[in-house]
Structure 1
Amino acid sequence: MTLPSPLPRDPLTAPLLDAQGRTITYLRLSVTDRCNFRCTYCSPASWGGKKDLLTPGEFERIVSVFARLGIRRVRLTGGEPLIRPDIVEVAQRIAAVPGVERVAITTNASHLERLAVPLREAGVTQLNLSLDTLSEATFRRISKQGDLATILRGIDASVAAGYASLKLNVVVMRGVNDLEVPALIAHAHARGIVPRFIELMPFGQGTPVPTAELVEQIQASGLPLVPEDARHDVTSGPASYWRAPGGLVGFISPLTQNFCGGCNRVRVASNGDLRSCLGGRAQAPLHALIRGGATDTDLALAIRHALGEKPEGHRFTEPGAGTSLLSMMGIGG
């Protein structure tokens, strides 16, 4: 185990650094690893889910420690975070933590028709809306559960609710939804949403489409794209952006345009396991520490030790890498 050097005299003070000296300011916090969909690339049918999820108070405590260490942005993930009956309370508690500047949620939008306004009022500032297709037949091919019409109504409800930022996340799969990309761009831009196209990662089924190929395919469809000189809203994540007539189009390319060198994030799973890297299994059991009476200093030291083992980058492109990874549901998006 290594630790970034020098270690602060007070472990509860910022900055929070990983083993490569990268400053960590972004926490992805899974609130459940269960989902009401079964997307082939994310949630295997065999996934049973964790049994011992954190409470709203435990989420708040973990976030408060991270905020003292310099975390400024928190994203609530899953599974599908909105299936938690107490999700509005969880979001409200986290948004109220001193030091937290932005709270975002990644969701499949199936519950947003009811929750879009309550979540915004609770302090959520950004929604990332997962929509891989506009076709009912293709949706059913991707997931045997869920309802496309409900998703589309939820997306429209989020637009009406007046969020500061809305993004549409599309996982692109060759031969499944890759030819729908121009239609998805038009659907998003018509609603003032920024679409983002994500290279499929090796957590489940499907074949990825490299970003460079996808950009060429979009341009060949007749939609002009011009690269932005700088990353749009650089604090929001690893996407690169192009300009289309209707607005920005984002691309997230973990396989072909590795962005690990600028990684600023850490993940905590729904049962409190801290994971320093999406592409590994090293973890720190924050939940066990909390329930064992750990102080905030104890938690800060455990967090720093875990980040001291964070690798330089993922190993997604290595042969057989997928067999050593948990599902996306198990990791927490």
Structure 2
Amino acid sequence: MRRRNHYGYGAYRGKSKLRTFLKFVIAVLAVVLVLLVGTFFFLQRYMVVSSTGGIYFDLPFLNREEESPPPSETEETPSIVVVSPSPTPEPTPSPEPEPVYTRAVALPDSLIAGGGVQNLYAAGGLDLTAYTGGSDAAPILTMKGIDGLLGYTSAQTVAQSVGASSADTARNGDLTALCSAMDTAAYVSCFRDNTAPYQNNQLALRTSIGNWRGPGEIRWMTPENADVRAYLAGVCSELAGLGFDEIILDYAAFPTEGDLSLILTGDRYNPDTFSQTVDAFYQQVRQAIGTGENAPLLSIVTDKTTLAQGSNPLSGQTLSGLCAAADRLYVKLDGGDPADYYPALREAGMENPEENLVVILDQAPIGDLPYSWAVLPQ
């Protein structure tokens, strides 16, 4: 308020410095009070009253470690059980089955002549130890030898026309009885035949002056002749009917020994068709003896050249054709290791070559051998 003096002017009162300072202090105190009140309410949740009456704040951001109270004497500390997962047991691999090796020995022709077959088992059991080296080898009976004669009575037209069939009318019955009593194999010399070509030159391999003869002066029938192939397939079919468990074909291709240059080439001897003719013959025999459960095994004799190279251009045999038709292959290795040929035989389609490759020996071995073996007719 302005008051007027005696000159007519009023005196001016400026702002008080004390009042300004007090206002500032009051404002600061008010802010501090607000902060304290806010802090109190914020810290109230962390306030801890100890058992002695003291008060402290348990602030998590200060990482204060809380001491665990000692366990009560009456409380039992639970034991910790660690359960380890049981390992899954690995299956035990099945042991590999032991190979079933072939053991077979050719019996002398005299044993099956004049009732000899019946005498083998009539005494209550077969005693073949004198011929098998004491082993449990199965007997091989010559049903068609290199002489061309048959060891049984045949109904084949060629056999009857050339006089190859056995005249012993009881022979077939004896053979059937023997085959039902034990495992037996029939040996068949196919194209190496000293009777049929002599009696019928149309069936023979020829030279410029007559029948061709190989080692031992033994004649050969020609594999190119359809009647010859049908005759041999018919013989194998009859042997299957007698009950033989196995039929072994020897000389079942073109000849590989002797002076082959003397053989006249043409429709009876054509090297360009050897393999086709031989493979077709094997399939013809396979069909003739059957492929069912009761059919006999078909075995074919071959050579090391065919096994090692896959074919023999002289014989016409091929490893693929042999394995496509035969259950077993017989071969003379002259001391070689049969295992050397297993991979090639598997690749050609033979199952279990460890069992089905049969090594030809000159005589029954003394002791056992870790592969299949057989002694064929000499």
> Which has the higher relative contact order, 1 or 2, with Cα contacts under 8 A spaced 6 or more apart?
1
State the structure with more CA Rg.
2
- Normalised by the size of structure 1, how large is the TM-score? 0.38
Compute the TM-score of the two structures, normalised by the length of structure 2: 0.35
